């Protein structure tokens, strides 16, 4: 992140990151309705893809790049307050249906 940020500017950027959800792609609303995954919960590997291919050329790209640098620099905990306010980390995997059928299993 830009070391020239004042505390107030940093607070505003952090709030903007907290309000921004991934609008497209694997973590967008099509796969994670209704809004997509909050950008602070995107995996660092996914953000790395954008680093290699190029971040979007708009404000979203700026925010994704800031989140990427925070994560690779080990500062992911900076987003804990946002996660707590949103009710916790958003699961990225679809829940698997688990069934137990008596008589089937490895113990046989």
Q: pLDDT tens across 41-85, in order?
A: 999 999 999 999 999 999 999 999 999 999 999 999 999 999 999
What does the mean pLDDT of the chain come to? 89
Q: Is 21 helix (H, G, I), strand (E, B) or coil?
A: strand
Q: pLDDT tens across 80-94, in order?
A: 999 999 888 888 887
Distance, in Å, from the CA atom of 17 to the CA atom of 11, rounded to the nearest integer, reads 10
* Token code pair at residue 79: 């987003």
Specify the pLDDT at position 88: 87
The CA angle 95-21-98, to the nearest 5 degrees, is 0
Q: The whole model's pTM is what?
A: 0.80
């Amino acid at each position: 992140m830009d070391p020239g940020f004042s505390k107030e500017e940093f607070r505003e950027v952090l709030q903007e990151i907290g309000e921004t959800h991934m609008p497209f792609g694997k973590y967008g609303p099509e796969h994670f309705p209704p809004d997509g995954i909050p950008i602070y919960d995107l995996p660092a590997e996914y953000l790395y893809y954008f680093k290699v291919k190029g971040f979007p050329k708009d404000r979203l790209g700026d925010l994704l790049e800031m989140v990427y640098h925070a994560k690779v620099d080990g500062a992911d905990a900076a987003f804990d307050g946002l996660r707590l306010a949103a009710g916790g980390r958003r699961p990225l995997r679809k829940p698997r249906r688990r069934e137990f059928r008596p008589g089937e299993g490895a113990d046989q």
